[in-house]
Each structure stands twice: as structure tokens, then as C-alpha cells.
Amino acid sequence: MNRLAHETSPYLLQHADNPVDWWPWSAEAFEEARKANKPVLLSVGYSSCHWCHVMAHESFEDRATADFLNEHFVSVKVDREERPDVDAVYMEAVQAATGQGGWPMTVFLTPDAEPFYFGTYFPPAPRHGMPSFRQVLEGVRGAWADRREEVAEVAGKIVRDLAGREISYGGPDAPGEEELAQALLGLTREYDAQRGGFGGAPKFPPSMVVEFLLRHHARTGAEGALQMAADTCERMARGGIYDQLGGGFARYSVDRDWIVPHFEKMLYDNALLCRVYAHLWRATGSELARRVALETADFMVRELRTEQGGFASALDADSDDGTGKHVEGAYYVWTPRQLRDVLGDDDAELAAQYFGVTEEGTFEHGQSVLQLPQSDGLVDAERIASVRERLLAARAERPAPGRDDKVVAAWNGLAIAALAETGAYFDRPDLVDAAVTAADLLVRLHLDEHARLSRTSKDGRAGANAGVLEDYADVAEGFLALASVTGEGVWLEFAGFLLDHVLARFADAESGALYDTAADAERLIRRPQDPTDNAVPSGWTAAAGALLGYAAHTGSEPHRTAAERALGVVKALGPRVPRFIGWGLAVAEALLDGPREVAIAGPGLDDDGTRTLHRTALLGTAPGAVVAVGTPDSDEFPLLADRPLSDGRPTAYVCRNFTCDAPTTDPERLRTALNG
């Protein structure tokens, strides 16, 4: 009996027809293990994970392997995107034991959920010194049957070791000039001056670090910070990690030069990068940054938007190559012959030169990932636009990658912020509307009457898993951006509801440290707590940013104090590991700058003068600035209290800690006030 058929997770549903007798993560699964006196196999992955699919085909769809599992184990399947808390706790154990981690994650547990043996992908036959999955299963079964006391001792030691781990918190003091300068120096040392980005292969888009660099430049004028940000963004935009036809970014590059991506496309990457490129354009006027921001926004709306108006989690790396075989990257790669078939000889030659398509290929089997190795200015723009259009149409005839349709609250919060700001910067009200629709969905479907969040939904049905810290923080961040862009104070109010939960249920009252799960959440073997930014801002640093933004809007001292205390971890980690605390550093930049509070008092956004001041405020580069727009003394935004018009004209007030400079009706004076 497979119990996954009624789950909301597309990843679990992919396994619903396996011969393995899967259980979802539940108390009932562990009770069954206890009654049957069996160990638990915990298998964790996600729907767009290439090696998860490989292991599923090789092992979980194999009848003999399934029969062995069903006889000797209770098998539990977890979607790491639905249960990041479960994933985090056991990944910490895997990394501590093996020195590495990844997905699929394979962990063997006692019926008390205590881990005692770990791994990631196991092949169906021994390979490169790695045992086969069947050998692992037989070894674990033998240990469980014959050396139970040893297993219990190992499991107990692991749990004690995990419980004894302490976060390097750094105290309640936020970082200052010295720590941020040290962080910049550390990034400079790790910067790849030839290729952009930081470190070696595989190379992940450093979106949060770039945001820090842009904010640092805005606050200090440090040209080196801006140069690293701009060069990294250009290298990524010209590389194969960026979809040169359809827009949007793949999850990472397998090489240092951004040429060959791991082809899955994640909502969170594209939301973060869309916002970063929009902010780069805001700082520099770069036409490349403008194009990439808009193309990435359009990709999210076109390919990830669900029927309900939210945004799906991901597109798979694999797709049918036309022969019935699922192959990584099949949807995206090209050969010279394929170009000729679509474009004819002359345009195919141009396309091959323009996109870097060669007979040898840059990927597998003579196929190439499209890049932009030369400047756009060297070719006929209209001709290239026609080439792009025809190639995109031809690609659309290929079997498309699968889509993970679940809506993750946190990642939708990131998308809302990106689409709202990008739409406002580039006069694209359709993008702002898409952000509003997604926000409406979160309020309607993910929020209960007590403003508690569900982590996920699918097909208009909320999932059973509770939101974690990053959900509350990122959705609040999205709502705050939406409030600044739309002038609708209801989004500020909703952000406040969510942040009240952060203070009440996720924060340590004594230290100000933050936990990834609520105090009343399901108890695991360890309460997860990780302040480092990885592919997305950590819940900890995201909460610090949202708390600071809300405090700037409202003047709330408890929220500002909580933000400052949370940033203590950035003081500790920023100078040592700046690549892994990028969003925390960006929030610290906002704190050092104020952040600035901008009130635009006017008749409303249907008034030309009000709109001009509002747009000028949104385009200001002051780190983390918040913007309120509305009629004087509007009760929707505290920033508008006692902010009259000047001589009956729309008026801007730029403040810090609710202490304001002289008001102005001049957009140029406002621009100067917010860009210096």
C-alpha cells in the first residue's frame, strides 16, 4: 500500500506508484516502525532533482529492491521543499558524519527518529568505491538484527552531538563599519576577477552577495563593490546559466565560466536575480541589467504562474529528448544542424556565432548551451530578434520539462517583491498586478484566521505543513515591497501580522536569536536554527530585514530592536564567511543607512505630480529605504502622519528614525537626497 497518492507535493506524487510501501513523514509511520520492530529508511529529495529521479528509476521502481524494503524497513519519503525543517535536521547529521551532503538524502533512523547511518545517492551496483543501494540495505538490516545495542549507541551519540552544537551568535550588537569593511575585503579575496562570481566550480548565482555589494556602494561610494556586482551580473547574463531564448536562470553552473548549467530552474533563484538585476539597473542604468530583469520577470509569469495566480516552485532539469528518454538539458541545447533546420544556412551561421554553438559542442554529444560570447552591438538587432523568436518557437515544440506546481509561501514572497519592484521601475503594471494576485493568493489560501502561514499549497488546496521562519519573513518582505509600490496600506498591515508571529513564536526572548521553526511546531530531534544564507536568504536574516523595514514604516521600537539583535550573528559571521551571509550583510547596510523613510504626500497615484515623486523615491538607491505614498495624514501609513502638502503640491519627506529633512516638491532634490 502506497500512501502518497493524496499528498499535495508533486515530488511525493511522483513516487505514488512505486512498488515501495512509502509513508509520508508522520507520527503513524514511526509508530508502525515501533510496532513492527523495523528501522526507518528516510529518503529526502525534491521534484526537480536530477539524481533523485535517477535513484528512483534505478531502485525505488525496481520490484526486487522494493520487496526487500517493504519486508525489512518502514520507508518514509519527504519533499525537502515542503519540510525544510526535517531536511535541515538530518542534513546536518549527514554533513557532520560524511563531510558532504546533497539530494537524494538517504538516512536510516530508529523508530524514535534518531539517525544512525547516512548517505545521499546510492547506485544499483557498486561503482567508484561506492556500495550499491542493496548492499547498504543488507548491511543496515544486519546491524539492526544483530548489533542493536551498537546501533542505539551510535544513534544516541549523534543526537547528543547535534543537541550540543551552538550557533556562533555574536551577541545582540549589530555589525558596524568595521565588520562590513572586513566582509567586503573577504569577498574581494574570493572574487573571480576573470569570470565573475566567487569561488570555483560548481558556481551558484551570488544574488544576496551582489545585493550587499550594491548597497555598500550606494552607502559608501566604493567603486570596487559596484564593479564586482556589475561584472558578476554581466558574466552570468552572457553565460549558459542564463536562458538566452526564454529568460530566467538555471540553478547553478557546473563550471567556473557559467557555461554549462544544471538545467533546473527554481523560482527562488529567478525571484532573487530578477530583483538584483533591477537594482543593478537602478544603480547604473545598464541596458543589459534592464533586459535581464524584465526577461526574468516575464519568464516567471509565463512559465511558473499557476492557475490560482501563485508561482510554481521549479522546472525540471530533465525532459524527453524526442526518443522517449529523459535527458538533462534536452529542452535547452542545440547543435549546428538543429540551427540550420530551423533558420536556414545564413541565419544559422549567424546564430552559431552569436550564441557560441560549435560542432564540438559545449555540453554533451556535440550539443551546445546558448551563450552570448560577444557584444550585442556587433550584430543586426532586428535580425537577432527574429532568430531568437524562431528558435524559441521551435524549442516550444520540444517536450517541455516537468513543472513542480506547488506554491511555496517563502519563494512566492520573494517573487512578489521582485515583480512589484521590477514592474514599478520599468512601467510594467502587468508585473505589479501579478505580484498583487500572488499576494492575494497567499492571504486567501495560506493564511488562517490567526495569520498563521501554511508552507505550501497546490491546485488551490493548502498543504498540511506549517510555515517556517523563512515563510513568515519572505512573505512579509514581499508585502512590504508591495506596500511601497502600490500605496496600499493593507500590505503593511499583513506584514505586521506575520512579524508579530516572528517575535512571539520564532525568537528567543533572552538572546534575540531566531529559530527556523516555531516554538509550538512539531518537535524533531533538534530544533533547527541556521543563520547562514544559502540558495535563499536564511529565515534568520530575512526576518531581520523584514523587521527592520516594518520598523522604518511604523516607528515600532520592538521590531527595530529585534532586527538589531538578530543582526548580531552577522557581526560574528560577516567578516569570516561573507559569501554565506550576504543577505544579512545587505540588511546591515540598511541599518547603517537608517534605513531612510520616504513619505510622498499627494492627492493620490492618479495625480502626475504624486506619481513622479513616488517613482523617484522608488528609484533611490539608499539601502533598504521604505516608501509610503498617500494622502496627507492617511491612516494606512504612519509615515504620512503630519506630512502636509507644500503650497498645495505633492511633497516628499525623507526621514531617519522619523526625523525628517526639509520637505521638497522637486523630484531632482528628492533624487539627490536618496542617492548620496
Counting residues of the chain whose pLDDT is more than 70, the rounded percentage is 98
CA distance 676 to 672: 6
- The pLDDT of 588-595, averaged and rounded, is 97
Whole-number pLDDT of residue 657: 85
C-alpha to C-alpha distance for 476 and 453, rounded to whole angstroms: 11
Of the candidates 341, 346, 327, the one whose C-alpha atom is nearest the C-alpha of residue 393 is 341
18-27, 66-75, 403-412, 652-661: segment of lowest average pLDDT:
652-661
Strands, DSSP E only, in 435-562?
Answer: 456-458, 461-462
Q: What is the pLDDT of residue 208?
A: 98
Would you place residue 172 in the very low, low, confident or very high pLDDT band (cuts 50, 70, 90)?
confident
Residue 527 sits at φ, ψ, to 5 deg, of: -80, 115
- Give the CA distances from residue 611 to residues 146, 419, 448, 618, 622, in Å, rounded to whole numbers and listed in that order: 75, 19, 35, 10, 19
User: Is 2 a member of any domain?
Assistant: no
- pLDDT at site 377: 60
In this prediction, residue 601 carries a pLDDT of 97
Question: What is the pLDDT at residue 99?
Answer: 77
Alpha helices in 191-250 (DSSP H): 207-220, 223-238
pLDDT digits (tens, 9 = 90+) for 357-371: 999 999 999 999 999
Are both 494 and 639 inside the same structural domain? no
User: CB atoms < 10 A from the CB of 608, how many?
Assistant: 11
For residue 400, the 8-state DSSP code is: P
Strands 651-656 and 659-660: antiparallel
Cβ of 633: how many Cβ atoms within 10 Å?
12
CB atoms within 10 A of CB 396: 11
Domain count, the chain: 4
Pairing state between β 318-320 and 326-328: antiparallel
| Residue at 433 is within a domain | yes
Q: Tell me, what's the pLDDT at 570?
A: 95
If asked whether residues 232 and 261 sit together in one domain, one would say yes
Same domain membership, residue 190 and residue 125: no
Residues 73 and 158 in one domain: yes
Average pLDDT over residues 501-521: 94
Report which residue type is found at 83: R
Query: What's the average model confidence in pLDDT over 370-388?
Result: 84
Q: Is residue 633 assigned to a domain?
A: yes
Q: What is the DSSP string of 435-456?
A: HHHHHHHIIIIIB-TT-PBBSE
Q: Is there a single domain that holds both residue 201 and residue 261? A: yes
pLDDT value, residue 322: 83
pLDDT at 652 > cutoff 70: yes
Whether 298 has a pLDDT exceeding 90, the answer reads yes
Q: Are 333 and 327 in contact (CB under 8 A)?
A: no
Same domain for 589 and 605: no
Among 628, 625, 626, 622, smallest CA distance to 675 is for: 622
Q: Letter for the amino acid at 440?
A: D
Q: Is the pLDDT of residue 471 over 90?
A: yes
| Confidence at residue 98, expressed as pLDDT on a 0 to 100 scale | 79
**What is the CATH number for 117?**
3.40.30.10
Containing structural domain, residue 344: 332-396
3-state secondary structure labels for all residues of 605-639: CCCHHHHHHHHHHHCCCCCCCEEEEECCCCCCCHH
Q: Clarify whether residues 414 and 557 are in a common domain.
A: yes
- What is the C-alpha to C-alpha distance for residues 61 and 334, in angstroms, rounded to an integer? 32
In whole angstroms, what is the distance from residue 98 CA to residue 119 CA?
A: 8
Is 170's pLDDT higher than 70?
A: no
pLDDT tens, 113-141? 999 998 899 999 998 888 999 999 999 99
Across residues 205-228, what is the average pLDDT? 98
* Residue indicated by cell numbers 533546420: 341
φ and ψ of 646, to 5 deg: -100, 115
The pLDDT score that the predictor gives to residue 159 is 87
Q: Is 240 or 98 the better-scoring residue by pLDDT?
A: 240
Contacts of 473 (CB under 8 A, 6+ apart): 410, 413, 498, 502, 537, 539, 542, 543, 545, 546
Residue 171 lies in a domain: no
> Which pLDDT score is estimated for 164?
73
* Distance between CA atoms of residues 45 and 52, nearest Å: 6
Confidence of residue 325 (pLDDT cuts 50, 70, 90): confident
412-453 pLDDT, tens digit each: 999 999 999 999 999 999 999 999 999 999 999 999 999 999
> Is 576 a member of any domain?
yes
Asked whether residue 3 is assigned to any structural domain, the reply reads: no
Look at the alpha carbons of 11, 14, 20, 23 in this order and tell me if their dihedral is positive or negative: positive
Q: Which residues fall within 8 angstroms of residue 505, CB to CB, at 6 or more apart?
A: 518, 519, 520
- Give the chain's mean pLDDT: 94
**What's the mean pLDDT in 176-180?**
96
Q: Which of 163, 197, 223 is at the close of a domain?
A: 163
Angle at which helix 177-190 crosses helix 223-238, to 10 degrees, equals 40
The confidence score (pLDDT) of residue 167 equals 67
pLDDT at 1: 64
Residues 33, 64, single domain; the answer is: yes
Strand order, beta sheet including 651-656: 626-630, 597-601, 651-656, 659-660
List C-alpha distances in Å: 468 to 89, 499, 619.
13, 12, 32
Residue 376 has pLDDT above 70, yes or no: no
Q: In the prediction, which pLDDT does 547 show? A: 98
Q: Using the predicted structure, report yes or no on whether residue 176 has a pLDDT greater than 90.
A: yes
- CA 474 vs. chain centroid, Å, equals 9
Please give the Cα distance from 283 to 286 (Å, whole number). 8
Looking at 50-59, 79-88, 535-544, 666-675, which range is the least confident one? Answer: 50-59
On whether both 298 and 154 belong to a single domain, the answer is: no
Q: Is the distance from CB of 33 to CB of 92 less than 8 angstroms?
A: no
State the pLDDT at residue 342.
97
Q: How many Å is the Cα radius of gyration of the chain?
A: 26
Please check whether residues 540 and 589 belong to one and the same domain. Answer: yes
The model's pTM is: 0.95
- Give the helix/strand (H/E) hosting 77: strand 74-79
Q: Which residues pair with residue 262 across a beta bridge?
A: 252
pLDDT digits (tens, 9 = 90+) for 236-283: 999 999 999 999 999 999 999 999 999 999 999 999 999 999 999 999
- Answer yes or no: is 230 within a domain: yes
CATH label of the domain that carries residue 534: 1.50.10.10
Strand partners, 461: 458
User: Of 135, 163, 191, at which residue does a domain stop?
Assistant: 163
Residue 653 located in a structural domain: yes
The residue with cell 523563512 is 470
Q: Give 658's DSSP letter.
A: T
Which SS3 state, helix, strand or coil, does residue 286 take?
A: coil
- Joined together, the cell numbers standing for residue 485 give 509600490
- Let me know how many helices (H) and strands (E) the chain has, helices first: 25, 18
Same domain, 293 and 440: yes
Query: Above 70 in pLDDT, residue 533?
Result: yes
pLDDT at 68: 96
39 and 30 in contact (C-beta within 8 Å)?
no
Q: What pLDDT, on a 0 to 100 scale, did the predictor assign at position 163?
A: 77
Reference 370, options 339, 399, 394; nearest CA is: 339
Beta carbons of 184 and 588 less than 8 angstroms apart:
no
Of the residues 593, 626, 641, the one at which a domain ends: 593
Percent of the chain with pLDDT over 90: 87
Residues 299 and 339 in one domain: no
